[in-house]
């Protein structure tokens, strides 16, 4: 079974965390929530759910994980400016491990400079940023490109989750 990191800060899109997180756990994989600080409370932007960070980004080591999932909403903006978050995602990518981002999640991928030469999708509001980061943008429910999986919005969650579980198995 895989050990999967979920990168989280307050303001995340509730369902984009809850649904993949529960699906990955139900599939038998180990889940670890990585926040800006260990023990930090992360609240969903709709207020339906909150989580506590199991690990701070400064403690996260790519060698300890098989994959990282980045929910969207406002959280990626807070995560992408944290040097430890960016380092962690870069290291995951250098080891060709799975990086999955939905909605605004690819903002963290942009800051970690992992999109060059890949294909991706995202929330339309960051489409130009994804293109400028070197990815070929596709307006599709899910795009799998080597070790990356990206999706656009909560309505794409079933396809996003399906591809994550396929890669982890």
Active-site positions read 103-104
Q: Please give the structure tokens belonging to residue 89.
A: 């995602």
CB atoms within 10 A of CB 90: 17
CA proximity to 51, closest of 26, 14, 23: 14
- Do residues 77 and 107 make contact, with C-beta atoms less than 8 angstroms apart? yes
Cα 14–59–34 angle (5° rounding)? 5
Q: What is the largest CA-CA distance in the chain?
A: 37
């Amino acid at each position: 079974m895989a050990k999967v990191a979920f990168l989280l800060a307050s303001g995340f899109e509730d369902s984009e965390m809850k649904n993949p997180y529960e699906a990955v756990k139900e599939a038998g994989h180990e889940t670890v929530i990585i926040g800006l600080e260990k023990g930090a409370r992360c609240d969903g932007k709709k207020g339906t759910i909150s989580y506590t960070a199991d690990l701070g980004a400064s403690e996260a080591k790519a060698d300890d994980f098989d994959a990282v999932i980045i929910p969207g909403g406002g959280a990626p903006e807070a995560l992408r400016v944290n040097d430890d978050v960016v380092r962690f995602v870069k290291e995951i990518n250098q080891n060709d491990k799975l990086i999955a981002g939905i909605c605004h999640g690819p903002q963290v991928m942009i800051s970690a400079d992992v999109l060059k030469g890949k294909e991706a999708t995202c929330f339309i509001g960051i489409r130009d940023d994804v293109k400028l980061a070197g990815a070929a943008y596709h307006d599709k429910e899910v795009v799998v490109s080597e070790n990356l999986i990206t999706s656009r919005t909560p309505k794409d969650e079933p396809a996003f989750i399906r591809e994550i579980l396929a890669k982890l198995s």
